[in-house]
Amino acid sequence: MARVVGGQSDVGRLRRVAVKPVREAFGTDTLVERQWRDLRYTARPDVAGAEREYERFLSLLSEAGVDVTCLPADPSVGLDSIYVRDAAIICDRGVILCNMGKPQRRPEPAAQEAFFRSAGVPICGRIGGVGTLEGGDICWIDEKTLVVGRGYRTNDAGIRQLRALVAACVDEVIVVPLPHWRGPDDVFHLMSIASPIDTDLWLVHAPLLPVPFRESLSARGIELVEVASSEFETLGCNVLALAPREVVMVAGNPETRRRLERAGVGVQEFAGQEICLKGGGGPTCLTRPLVRDAT
């Protein structure tokens, strides 16, 4: 029987993914107008343009052979629910539901839980109480090593709960203190500054990468490709691995693309002005991988 969830990797071949299409996340133009300022989007998303961009993004997933599962519309959540990675984490034991640090996003984990349970996806735990944790702050170095960014969206109590939930399937949890950068209202996660590309290759934004974490990656033999400084704001550092050294990224980051290709990475692009740049979430944010191959 095919797995419904699992694969403790961010670079193994992507087999199954959950997404939230534009129409289900954004709803009507009226809803978009009502929400975008409060959610601190840089500008009002154009729904028709967003749908065109999203169709291209989905086509890249489908062409790569990924089984795409679409989350339904839910009146309890808003525009940010398009960034499905943040509300849940996947380990080999099932789904861990997050507790969002951004107050406007608090209903999202419950909405995802309802869908996952209806789809037969196992839930192995949740972050609760005063603990906060968002999926954009979590990534895998290898199948037994989990990295979590400690910032404004993910706090110490959330990390303690995460450690307990993954204790049976993880040997080490590395905590990376994140910089203040633009403060608690900014869209900033660990994966804003680091994207795994292969077991021995990561894309990073060097100016904001904490020195101890950089040293830890280098000590493990991981080569670091540095995103072009001028392309950090256009989400050049947020790339989705479809398989080892095969990635999808937002168009408009040509120098970073060249650097990746020089490192032997195959790159595909999609326009993301409406679905990525305005809301601050790249292709990793748009996806919640459910099944990946082990690496």
Strands 223-226 and 201-204 come out as: parallel
What CATH number should be reported for the domain holding residue 47?
3.75.10.10
Tell me the pTM: 0.96
Does residue 227 form part of some domain? yes
Question: Per the domain annotation, does 103 fall within a domain?
Answer: yes
Tokens (6 digits) for 175:
């905590």
**Confidence at residue 287, expressed as pLDDT on a 0 to 100 scale:** 98
Q: Which amino acid is at 83?
A: Y
- Look at residue 171 in the predicted model and tell me its pLDDT: 97
Is 191 inside any structural domain? yes
Question: CA 4, 170, 95, 64 torsion: positive or negative?
Answer: negative
Give the pLDDT of the chain (295 residues) as one tens digit per residue: 568 899 999 999 999 999 999 999 999 999 999 999 999 999 999 999 999 999 999 999 999 999 999 999 999 999 999 999 999 999 999 999 999 999 999 999 999 999 999 999 999 999 999 999 999 999 999 999 999 999 999 999 999 999 999 999 999 999 999 999 888 888 899 999 999 999 999 999 999 999 999 999 999 999 999 999 999 999 999 999 999 999 999 999 999 999 999 999 999 999 999 999 999 999 999 999 999 998 8
Give a yes or no: residue 4 inside a domain: no
* Cβ proximity of 276 and 283 under 8 Å: yes
Give the per-residue pLDDT at 291: 97
- Rounded to whole angstroms, how far apart are CA atoms 166 and 159? 11
Cα dihedral 245, 248, 249, 253 sign: positive
Domain count, the chain: 1
| Domain assignment of residue 45, given as a range | 14-292
Cα(280)–Cα(284) distance, integer angstroms: 11
Tell whether 3 is covered by a domain.
no
Paired sense of beta strands 246-250 and 240-243, if any:
antiparallel
Q: Residue 6's beta-bridge partner residues?
A: 291
The Cα 3–Cα 292 span in angstroms is: 10
Q: Does 2 map to a domain? A: no
pLDDT at position 183, please? Answer: 86
7 domain residue, yes or no:
no
In angstroms, the first-to-last Cα distance of the chain is 20
Q: What are the structure tokens assigned to 283, written together?
A: 């292709």
Whole-Å CA distances, 42 to 35, 232, 233, 265: 12, 15, 12, 31
Residue 33, CA distances (Å) to 80, 155, 189 in order: 13, 31, 26
